[in-house]
């Protein structure tokens, strides 16, 4: 049974292995790529939620206009708006101010899922002007 030993285990590796410096350099490059890529991915993930919030604000504006036609004034009570129901998501909606001539509706977003609606804030007024507040 004499024969040659298995080549796989006894042959010297020579220069075929990675050095510690090469491994550290590779880890560093991968870290830089992740630091750049993750925020970009997070921004892209927020866009559909922002688009939905903007659409909802325009629907709130339309509902406020219908309320004014019916009652002669805008309302601060968002639950009194006819034909508008909030879509459950990452935004909360409210009417900041309202009187007989103007109103400001607001959408506050919780885009990082920390249950605090302070990440993204949009407003719309009676003229349909949409503003990013925060």
- What is the tens place of the pLDDT at every residue in 115-132? 777 778 999 999 999 999
Domain boundaries, the chain: 47-132
Residue 107 burial by Cβ neighbours in a 10 Å radius (0-12, 13-18, 19+)? buried
Lay out the sheet containing 120-125: strands in order across: 91-98, 103-109, 120-125, 130-132
Mean pLDDT in the chain? 83
Q: What is the pLDDT of residues 69-120, one digit of tens each?
A: 999 999 999 888 887 887 778 888 999 999 999 999 999 988 777 777 777 8
- Range 68-72, long-range pairs (CB < 8 A, 24+ positions): 68/100, 72/100
């Amino acid at each position: 049974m004499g024969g040659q030993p298995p080549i796989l285990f006894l042959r010297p590796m020579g220069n075929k292995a990675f050095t510690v410096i090469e491994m550290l350099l590779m880890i560093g490059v991968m870290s830089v790529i992740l630091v750049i890529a993750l925020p970009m991915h997070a921004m892209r993930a927020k866009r559909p939620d922002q688009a939905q919030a903007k659409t909802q604000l325009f629907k709130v504006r339309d509902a406020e206009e219908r309320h004014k036609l019916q009652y002669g004034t805008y309302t601060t009570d968002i639950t009194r708006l006819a034909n508008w129901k909030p879509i459950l998501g990452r935004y909360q909606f409210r009417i900041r101010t309202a009187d007989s001539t103007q109103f400001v509706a607001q959408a506050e977003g919780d885009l990082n899922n920390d249950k605090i609606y302070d990440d993204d804030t949009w407003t719309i007024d009676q003229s349909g002007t949409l503003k990013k507040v925060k």
